[in-house]
Every structure is written in C-alpha cells, then in structure tokens.
Amino acid sequence: MLRLAIAEDHPDLRAGLVRKLGFFPGVEVVATAENGAELLAALALLPERPDTVLMDIEMPQMDGVEATREVARRWPEVAVVMLTVFDDDARVLDALDAGAAGYLVKETPVEGVIAAAREAAAGGAPLAASVAGAVVRSVRQSREAERDRAAALAAAGLSARETEVLRLLAFGQTDEGAAHALGISVHTVRSYTKSLFRKLGVHSRAEAARRAAELGVA
C-alpha cells in the first residue's frame, strides 16, 4: 500500500487529485492540507506517517519549500515530491535544497504522479523532464565555480595551511582560536597570516576576509 499525503491550497485541485488517486488500488490518501502548517499538524497526529507527501509550492501561511524543510527535519523517512505549476530553476533548486526527493509539474498524469511517489518512497529522485535541466545547470555551475576557485587559489599561491588560516580568520577567529583549531602555536598562525597577507596584497583582517569571500574560501 502506498500511503500519500497532499498539501494543496486550491480546494478543487486537492479534491480532484484525491478523487483520481482513489481509482487506483494500493494507493491510500491518509492526509490532506491546504498549507504547509496544516500539513505538519496533520502528519504529527498520524499513527503511521505517509510514504510520500505531494507538495504544492505556493501556499498561504507556510509555503511548500518551508514545509518540505520541516518534513525532512522531523520525519526524514517521509519522501516529498513537489507537485506544482512552477518549473523555473530557482523554485526547483530551492525545493531540492530543502529536501524534496522529486519535482513534478501539475500536467503530470495521475499514473505518473503515483509512479513518482513510489520511486521517491523507494529512495529515488523523480524529476519532470521540464525541470531536469535546472539540476544539470546547477551541477555545471557548481563545477565551474569550483574550478574557478581552485584556479584563483592557485594564482594566489596560498599553501593548504595558509588557506586554512585564511578561512578561520575570515570567520572571525582570533590568532589563539585559529591556533587551537589547527593544533599549532599562535606564533605559527601569525607567521602564516603574515605570509598570506603578503601573497594576497592585503593589510588587514577585514581586507583578508573580503579576499577570502572572493576566492570562495569563506
């Protein structure tokens, strides 16, 4: 039995989805809600959690992204599949970053919704074809950013240890705190700091922190 919960703020769409799902044996809708807050309250009262939540994004009081984050935090065994009209990159990536296992658009036939819910419950990551490109672009951009960071660090000529010191200084660590974190002496931290200041062409911790952000270290 596939146990589903639905969060959808439009009553007619919510009722229509429940009705369509009811035609399929082995599928049970155990909770419905019109917003994220109502969904969390409903899930908390269930003696047995659903396998998958079908989650809209734009909802009052608590939207689908925030609700997804809460579901993932409270009940990590419950899969969330977004079911929404929006397929722009920002919303797709926000939902996936929040913990959604999959992302569908509302044009998806009910058979496809059920298949995606089963796949997500089994640990899969079902994605509508129209949103898969967002994931590919995100991965590509992350890799390009990592290459750019590595190239910038190489150009700056910082050693691995100097990079570690720079990161700690950028996050506001004192010399003593950095020394403790790295297991080295305060004198050694100050030597590394002097060296990295020279290599980066900076003269203060504030300047070093800004440079660290530019290099992707902080």
Same domain for 203 and 120: no
Q: Tell me if 187 is assigned to some domain.
A: yes
Same domain for 122 and 41: yes
CB 118 within 8 A of CB 2: yes
* Average model confidence (pLDDT) across the chain: 90
Q: Looking at residue 134, what is its pLDDT?
A: 64
Helix/strand number for the chain, H first, E second = 10, 5
**Number of separate domains in the chain:** 2
Give the DSSP per-residue string, 149-208: HHHHHHHHT--HHHHHHHHHHHTT--HHHHHHHHTS-HHHHHHHHHHHHHHHT--SHHHH
Q: Tell me if 140 is assigned to some domain.
A: no
Q: Looking at residue 131, what is its pLDDT?
A: 75
Same domain for 117 and 14: yes
Same domain for 165 and 130: no
Same domain for 34 and 88: yes
Same domain for 163 and 125: no
Q: Looking at residue 214, what is its pLDDT?
A: 81
Residue stretches of the chain with pLDDT short of 70: 132-146, 148, 150-155, 218
Q: Tell me if 149 is assigned to some domain.
A: no
Same domain for 168 and 83: no
Q: In sequence order, what are the residues at sequence separation of 6 or more whose Cβ sits closer than 8 angstroms to the Cβ of residue 174?
A: none
Stated pTM of the model: 0.65
Boundaries of domain holding 16: 2-134
Q: Tell me if 146 is assigned to some domain.
A: no
Same domain for 15 and 74: yes
